[in-house]
Amino acid sequence: MSDEEVALLVDESIRWNMDWDLADYKGRIPRGIRPASGINNLIFRCPDCGEEEGLQVIRGRYLDCNLCKSRWRVGGDSSLTNERTGERRTSTEAFRHILTFPREQRDFGPQGKGYIRALDVPVYLEVDFPKQDLLGNYDIIMREDRIDFIPVGEGDPISVPFDDIHSLSLEKHYRFQVRLKGRLYQMHLHGKGSAIQWEVYLQLMLPQVNHFLIRSMEEYYLAPLEKKST
Ligand SMILES: [Zn+2]
């Protein structure tokens, strides 16, 4: 068996469930009950047209694109099959594929231009680990050179220049963290967009952070559930 065949076999045997940490499975390993659940966190752009905001998981089984109307059936083996064309990809292949799409700024109307936007996101500030204080809810926009936090209710806007960012990390798949000198902002993105997209885009845009992470993210996020449950 060639290396490629082995890699394919591994890809195809991997199961996927982004909600693993959030759901109460009472120690049981789910087998294809909701195989598409949370996959839009990893496959954050339509593998067909590249659309970023119109992806939706339907009935835990399908990934739909509202723009080009593609529907991908997600298998318990992590595969994505295009219902229209029959094209089949593993989620690893689909992830690598969407990373090849050009990243362009979009016009968010009164909020200006940016790469990614997440609305009404609870944001926590940590100065003395492990104490975190809820700052409030913010609309968060990734610009060319900074992240802007626009308060949804009371509060002052916050701007984090890319140059000030020391490191990035994810917790429980949906809490995205940026660490600056002396403080850390944690954004709770569950149901508000893909935390992986935020981390990957910043990894690609920030020269001071390490680019090997995309590879290590694949290994971590596509790890078999059996491994995670131990
Ligand atoms: Zn599409």
Helices (H), 164-229: 195-205, 213-221, 225-229
Q: Which fold has domain 106-215?
A: PH-domain like (2.30.29)
Q: Which two tokens stand for residue 80?
A: 């994505």
Q: How many A from CA of 55 to the centre of ligand 1? A: 8
d(CA 23, CA 185): 25
**pTM for the predicted model, two decimal places:** 0.77
Roughly what angle, to the nearest 10 degrees, separates helices 91-99 and 213-221?
Answer: 150
Measure 71 CA to ligand 1 centroid, in angstroms. Answer: 8
Q: Ligand 1 centre and the CA of 26: distance in Å?
A: 36
Burial category of 142 from C-beta neighbours within 10 Å (exposed 0-12, middle 13-18, buried 19 and up): buried
55 Cβ contact list (under 8 Å, min separation 6): 40, 43, 44, 45, 46, 63, 64, 65, 66
Q: How far is the CA of 39 from the centre of ligand 1 (A)?
A: 15
Centre of ligand 1 to C-alpha 114, Å, is: 20
How far apart are the CA of 65 and the centre of ligand 1, in A? 5
Domain boundaries, the chain: 3-102, 106-215
pLDDT of the chain along its 230 residues, tens only? 777 676 666 655 555 554 444 444 455 544 567 888 888 989 999 999 999 888 999 998 999 999 999 999 998 777 899 999 999 998 888 988 998 899 899 999 999 999 999 999 999 999 988 899 999 999 999 999 999 999 999 889 999 999 898 888 888 778 999 989 899 999 999 889 999 899 888 888 886 665 445 555 555 555 443 333 33
How far away, in angstroms, is 49 Cα from ligand 1 center?
A: 4
Question: Residues 116, 215, 75, 16: is their CA dihedral positive or negative?
Answer: negative
> How far away, in angstroms, is 195 Cα from ligand 1 center?
20
Strand partners of residue 71? 64
